[in-house]
Amino acid sequence: MDLNDFKETTAVENKKADIPTFTPPEGKKVGKSIPTFTPPSTSSLDPACYYHPEERSVGHCVRCGKNLCRYCCDSFGVTGGEYAGKMLCYDCTKKLVADNVQQLQKNYDYIHNQYMMCLAGCVIGAVIGFLWGLSSGIGSALVYMVLCAAIGGSASNFFRRFIGAVPGFFVSTGNWVVSLCIGLFKFVACFFIYAIMALFETARKIIYFRSYMSQTASCIETDSSALQCIEDRMEYSRVMQNNKGMDLADLMKEGSELYNNSYARMVQEQGEDKAEAFVSKCTTQIAENGEIIRSFAA
């Protein structure tokens, strides 16, 4: 080996000597401080619940596809209406309520306007009828008042029928007096017949309008109450998850997170199974109310 080869070999050995090395610590020297990795309870192959990440999903929302755990599926399963036998998530349930209330309010406003127009027509018709029949006595005035009030409540139908019958009033018998009498008889007969028909129609419309407005108010109240229960249930699950091991009674004390929680109170008084069944019933009621609204035909 010449001098140059010796220098190159020495330089390589010195360079290798400068490379740092790592010796892992021994457990007996560092105690139990060596960090360990614990795999999560869920994975991409076993997705977590959207609302409870620590729980595995067993289903999904039929509207938006969110993963739901057994707890959510039991609470938001629907047994009637458009989503019978399917699950809705918390967000879609809230959206369903908001859509229901919006449509209810729209329908209510329309029906209310129709109702007020019907009443206004009845009042105007009653005044005209009373004045018309007053010359024949109070009895006739009352009869005309009722018939004209009915005509005013269903004016469009009454005048459509009456105008359609006008051509039939004119008959030719060869004697203008007889023809005139027949025409007047038909006029009076049609007036009373169509007025009586209008009476039944007006009564039916008023009953329908009032019934629908009452039903609408009931649906809004029911949806709002059901949504509050569902919101309380979701808050209950969050608090219980964050306070595992704590007694429910302690979490419901004055000033605590579940103090005014209706679902927690139901669990405490009736048990969790009955509380869950009630929330599921609330979800079903919301879906059924949506069907009632969509089937409305003004």
Q: What is the pLDDT of residues 27-74, one digit of tens each?
A: 444 444 555 545 444 444 468 888 888 888 888 898 889 999 888 887
Residue 77, beta-bridge partner list: 87
Share of the chain above pLDDT 70, in %: 81
* pTM for the model: 0.60
pLDDT at 256 over 60: yes
Cβ neighbour number for residue 73 with a 10 Å cutoff: 20
The DSSP secondary-structure symbol of 48 reads B
- With bands split at pLDDT 50, 70 and 90, how would you rate the model's confidence at 204? very high
C-alpha torsion 88→91→92→94, nearest 10: 110
Task: Tell me the per-residue pLDDT of 97-126, one tens digit each, with 9 for 90 and over.
Answer: 888 888 888 888 988 999 999 999 999 999
Note the pLDDT of residue 31: 47
Task: Tell me the per-residue pLDDT of 236-252, one tens digit each, with 9 for 90 and over.
Answer: 888 888 888 888 888 88
- Residue 212 and residue 42: Cα distance in Å, rounded? 49
